[in-house]
């Protein structure tokens, strides 16, 4: 299959490209390098022995994108490209809406012009906002994100639903990720955020690298066993495999619009993750408890039955693997 991957040099995109190439798919990457590095292309080549075709373009520039479609005959598209920092999105909502929504609209228009009608979209569990109960299943109320970044995911999901309602020859698969962490076992690719991170694992790594003194755990007075928040951490390689399952499923006899959670189905507390990191890698991360972070959901984990039953997808990696692989990437990174 010939697949366009937007944002293919980013954290989840690059791992997905590796899995696709390993299975013999042809991949073309577009990425504007705003939150990724061109060296990732060399790393992908090192891991897979294949160098995918790459275009450095911004999805906001429709003419550039149109050229990519003109030069390639795609079977399908996986769309990762987008801005994703929650805090920044609150400060710069217009930039987030413009970038994520206009970029997606341009992509969909180019797809329609070229009659490429299969898309896997990178959504997020943040569309559920504060869930009524856990595990969260795909039919739970969505459109509930608590910040502009999350709302761009809600709006794009709605755009895809409306497009499908108007023309059911489209095939859309929406994947709602829980909390991706970990890195490729080679240590060559992983999460490498620009600036000071605010997600948990990148911050743990920063402390382990000695760039920050202590991790602050936001709140230990939640109604959970150890008082810290609970999340569904999923290894990025499992997540990448989920995309392969999704794209192969949609190109067999299973067209239509589908929505799947991608998580492990298991909740792990913030404190458990930090303790596991220290157990697996040596006591590298000092921490202290601080106030709750406004907007944090106390408990969030996925119901995974739908992805398992329909896509045959199940996670293989453990929390220990996630901690080990994250640190392995981080300590080798230049
Ligand atoms: C956040 C976003 C979500 C986005 C996801 C991307 C919100 C409300 N949600 O999810 O929309 O899709 O990032 O990965 O912002 N923590 C600490 N100390 C830290 C950093 C985090 O204790 O220095 C805790 C947080 O309080 C939270 C947990 O770790 O309980 C996970 O935080 P984070 O990695 O930011 O992800 P989410 O908040 O789950």
Closest CA to 242 of 60, 36, 80, 9: 80
- The dihedrals phi and psi of 156, each to the nearest 5 degrees, come to -65, -40
Which of 129, 131, 296 has most ligand 1 atoms within 8 Å of its beta carbon, as the pocket-test mutant?
A: 296
Which of 223, 231, 235, 295 has most ligand 1 atoms within 8 Å of its beta carbon, as the pocket-test mutant?
A: 231
- The dihedrals phi and psi of 243, each to the nearest 5 degrees, come to -65, -40
Q: Is residue 218 in contact with ligand 1, taking CB distance under 6 Å?
A: yes
Question: For ligand 1, atom 38, which residue shows the shortest CA distance?
Answer: 296
The two structure tokens encoding residue 244: 């392969």
Q: Is residue 285 in contact with ligand 1, taking CB distance under 6 Å?
A: no
218-223, long-range: CB within 8 Å, 24+ apart, which pairs? 218/270, 218/290, 218/291, 218/292, 218/293, 218/296, 219/289, 219/290, 219/291, 219/292, 219/293, 219/296, 220/271, 220/289, 221/292, 222/292, 222/298, 222/299, 223/298
Active site residues: 149
What are 39-95's pLDDT values in tens digits? 999 999 999 999 999 999 999 999 999 999 999 999 999 999 999 999 899 999 999
Ligand 1 atom at minimum distance from 230 CA: 30
Residue owning tokens 């609970």? 230
Q: How far is the centre of ligand 1, averaged over its atoms, from the C-alpha of 230 (Å)?
A: 10
Rounded mean pLDDT, 276-280? 98
Note the pTM of the prediction, 2 decimals: 0.97
**Quick one: how far is CA 207 from the chain centroid?**
23
Q: Is residue 308 in contact with ligand 1, taking CB distance under 6 Å?
A: no
- H or E stretch at 45: helix 39-48
More confident call, 195 vs 314 = 314
The two structure tokens encoding residue 46: 């090192």
Predicted local confidence at residue 194, as pLDDT: 77
Q: How far is the centre of ligand 1, averaged over its atoms, from the C-alpha of 134 (Å)?
A: 17
Ligand 1 atom at minimum distance from 228 CA: 30
C-alpha torsion sign, points 87, 327, 276, 182? positive
The two structure tokens encoding residue 55: 């275009």
Q: How far apart are CA 186 and CA 182, in angstroms?
A: 11
Predicted local confidence at residue 252, as pLDDT: 65
Count the alpha carbons within 13 Å of 26 in the hemisphere toward its beta carbon: 7
What are 193-238's pLDDT values in tens digits? 877 778 999 999 999 999 999 999 999 999 999 999 999 999 999 9
Q: How far is the centre of ligand 1, averaged over its atoms, from the C-alpha of 218 (Å)?
A: 9
Q: How far is the centre of ligand 1, averaged over its atoms, from the C-alpha of 145 (Å)?
A: 13
Question: For ligand 1, atom 20, which residue shows the shortest CA distance?
Answer: 200
Ligand 1 atom at minimum distance from 177 CA: 12
DSSP one-letter string for 189-218: S----SSS--SHHHHHHHHHTTSSS-EEEE
- pLDDT above 90 covers a percentage of the chain that reads 93
Residue owning tokens 């999350």? 150
Q: How far apart are CA 110 and CA 213, in angstroms?
A: 47
Judge whether 38 and 12 are in contact, CB under 8 Å: no
Cα angle: 69, vertex 71, 72; to 5 degrees: 65
Q: Is residue 27 in contact with ligand 1, taking CB distance under 6 Å?
A: no
What are 120-179's pLDDT values in tens digits? 999 999 999 999 999 999 999 988 899 999 999 999 999 999 999 999 999 999 999 999
Judge whether 147 and 89 are in contact, CB under 8 Å: yes
Q: How far apart are CA 120 and CA 78, in angstroms?
A: 5
Ligand 1 atom at minimum distance from 146 CA: 8
Residue owning tokens 């970990």? 182
Ligand 1 atom at minimum distance from 124 CA: 12
Count the alpha carbons within 13 Å of 70 in the hemisphere toward its beta carbon: 6
Q: How far apart are CA 200 and CA 184, in angstroms?
A: 18
- pLDDT above 70 covers a percentage of the chain that reads 99
Q: Is residue 88 in contact with ligand 1, taking CB distance under 6 Å?
A: no
Calculate the CA dihedral of residues 10, 11, 16, 21 and round it to 10 degrees. Answer: 60
Q: How far apart are CA 149 and CA 230, in angstroms?
A: 21
Q: Is residue 206 in contact with ligand 1, taking CB distance under 6 Å?
A: no
């Amino acid at each position: 299959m010939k697949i366009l991957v937007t944002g293919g040099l980013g954290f989840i995109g690059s791992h997905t490209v590796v899995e696709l190439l390993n299975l013999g798919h042809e991949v073309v990457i577009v990425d504007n390098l705003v939150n990724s590095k061109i060296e990732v292309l060399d790393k992908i080549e090192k891991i897979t022995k294949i160098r995918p075709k790459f275009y450095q373009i911004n999805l906001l520039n429709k003419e550039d994108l149109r050229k990519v479609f003109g030069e390639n005959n795609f079977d399908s598209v996986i769309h990762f490209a987008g801005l994703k920092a929650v805090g920044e999105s609150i400060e710069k909502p217009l930039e987030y809406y413009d970038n994520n929504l206009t970029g997606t609209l341009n992509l969909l228009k180019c797809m329609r012009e070229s009659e490429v009608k299969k898309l896997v979209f990178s959504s997020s569990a943040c569309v559920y906002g504060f869930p009524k109960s856990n595990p969260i299943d795909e039919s739970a109320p969505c459109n509930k994100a608590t910040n502009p970044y999350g709302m761009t995911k809600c709006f794009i999901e709605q755009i895809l639903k409306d497009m499908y309602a108007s023309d059911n020859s489209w095939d859309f698969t929406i994947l709602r990720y829980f909390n991706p962490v970990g890195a490729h076992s080679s240590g060559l690719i992983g999460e490498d955020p620009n600036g000071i991170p605010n997600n948990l694992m990148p911050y743990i790594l920063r402390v382990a690298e000695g760039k920050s003194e202590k991790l602050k755990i936001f709140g230990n007075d939640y109604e959970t066993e150890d008082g810290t928040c609970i999340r569904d951490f999923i290894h990025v390689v499992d997540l990448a495999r989920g995309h392969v399952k999704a794209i192969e499923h949609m190109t067999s006899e299973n067209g239509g619009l589908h929505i799947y959670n991608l998580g492990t189905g298991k909740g792990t507390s913030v404190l458990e993750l930090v303790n596991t990191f220290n157990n697996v890698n040596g006591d590298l991360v000092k921490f202290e408890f601080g106030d709750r972070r406004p907007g944090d959901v106390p408990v969030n984990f996925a119901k995974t039955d739908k992805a398992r039953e329909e896509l045959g997808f199940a996670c293989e990696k453990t929390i220990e693997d996630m901690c080990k692989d994250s640190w392995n990437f981080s300590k080798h990174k230049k």
